[in-house]
Amino acid sequence: MDSIAITGGARLNGTIPISGAKNSALKLMAASILTDQPLLLTNMPRLADTKFLGRLLEELGVQVSEREGAEGQETLFHAAALTSTFAPYDLVRQMRASFNVLGPLLARTGEAKVSLPGGCTIGARPVDLHLQALTAMGAEIELDEGYVIARTPHGLKGAEIEFPFVSVGATEHALLAAVLADGVTVLRKAAREPEIGDLARCLTAMGARIEGIDTDELVITGVGSLGGAEWSVIPDRIEMGSYAVAAAMTGGEVRLTKTRPELMTALGEKMIEAGVEVTPTADGVIVKRDPAVRLKAVNVATEVYPGFATDLQAQFMALMTTAEGDSVIHENIFENRFMHAPELARLGADIHVQAGEAVVHGVTALHGAQVMATDLRASVSLVIAGMAAQGETTVGRVYHLDRGFERLEEKLSACGAEIRRVRDDDHEH
Distance (Å, rounded) from C-alpha 30 to C-alpha 157? 20
Domain 3-19+235-426 has CATH 3.40.630.10: no
Whether the per-residue pLDDT at 121 is higher than 60: the answer is: no
Whether the per-residue pLDDT at 336 is higher than 80: the answer is: no
Q: Which residues are annotated as a binding site for UDP-N-acetyl-alpha-D-glucosamine?
A: 96, 125-129, 311, 333
Position 375 confidence tier, pLDDT thresholds 50, 70, 90: confident
**Residue of 403 and 209 predicted with greater confidence:** 209
Whether the per-residue pLDDT at 71 is higher than 90: the answer is: no
Domain boundaries, the chain: 3-19+235-426, 22-232
What is the value of pTM for the model shown? 0.95
Would you give the DSSP letter of residue 207?
T
CA count, 13 A, side-chain hemisphere, 376: 18
Maximum Cα interatomic distance, the chain, rounded to a whole number of Å: 68
| Residue 118: per-residue pLDDT | 63
| Residue 125: per-residue pLDDT | 53
**Residue of 71 and 79 predicted with greater confidence:** 79
Tell how far CA 118 is from the center of its chain: 18
Task: State yes or no: cis peptide before 306, omega within 30 of 0.
Answer: yes
Q: What is the mean pLDDT of the segment spanning 156-177?
A: 96
**How high is the mean pLDDT of the chain?**
94
- The CATH classification of domain 22-232, taken from the options 1.10.357.10, 3.30.300.20, 3.65.10.10, 2.40.50.140: 3.65.10.10
Whether the per-residue pLDDT at 179 is higher than 90: the answer is: yes
Position 374 confidence tier, pLDDT thresholds 50, 70, 90: confident
Whether the per-residue pLDDT at 147 is higher than 90: the answer is: yes
Gyration radius of the chain's alpha carbons: 22
Residues assigned a catalytic role: 120
**Residue of 118 and 9 predicted with greater confidence:** 9
Distance (Å, rounded) from C-alpha 263 to C-alpha 379? 22
Whether the per-residue pLDDT at 167 is higher than 80: the answer is: yes
| Residue 289: per-residue pLDDT | 97
Looking at the chain, the whole-number percentage of residues with pLDDT higher than 90 is 88
Of 262, 246, 366, 375, give the one whose Cα is nearest residue 310: 375
DSSP string, 268-334: HHHHHHHT-EEEEETTEEEEE--TTSPPBP--EEB-STTSB-GGGHHHHHHHHTTSBSEEEEE--S-
Q: Are 198 and 233 in contact (CB under 8 A)?
A: yes
pLDDT in tens, 341-359: 999 999 999 999 998 999 9
| Residue 378: per-residue pLDDT | 85
| Residue 344: per-residue pLDDT | 98
CATH topology agreement for domains 3-19+235-426 and 22-232: yes
pLDDT in tens, 197-208: 999 999 999 999
Distance (Å, rounded) from C-alpha 244 to C-alpha 1? 28
pLDDT in tens, 128-145: 999 999 999 999 999 999
Q: Which residues are annotated as a binding site?
A: 22-23, 96, 125-129, 311, 333
Q: Are 328 and 299 in contact (CB under 8 A)?
A: yes
Distance (Å, rounded) from C-alpha 55 to C-alpha 40? 17
| Residue 315: per-residue pLDDT | 97
pLDDT in tens, 8-43: 999 999 999 999 999 999 999 999 999 999 999 999
pLDDT in tens, 253-293: 999 999 999 999 999 999 999 999 999 999 999 999 999 99
Whether the per-residue pLDDT at 101 is higher than 50: the answer is: yes
Distance (Å, rounded) from C-alpha 182 to C-alpha 396? 50
Strands 357-361 and 3-7: unpaired
- Sheet of 209-211: strand order equals 160-162, 184-188, 217-221, 209-211
Q: Which residues are annotated as a binding site for phosphoenolpyruvate?
A: 22-23
Phi and psi dihedrals of 371, rounded to 5?
-135, 165
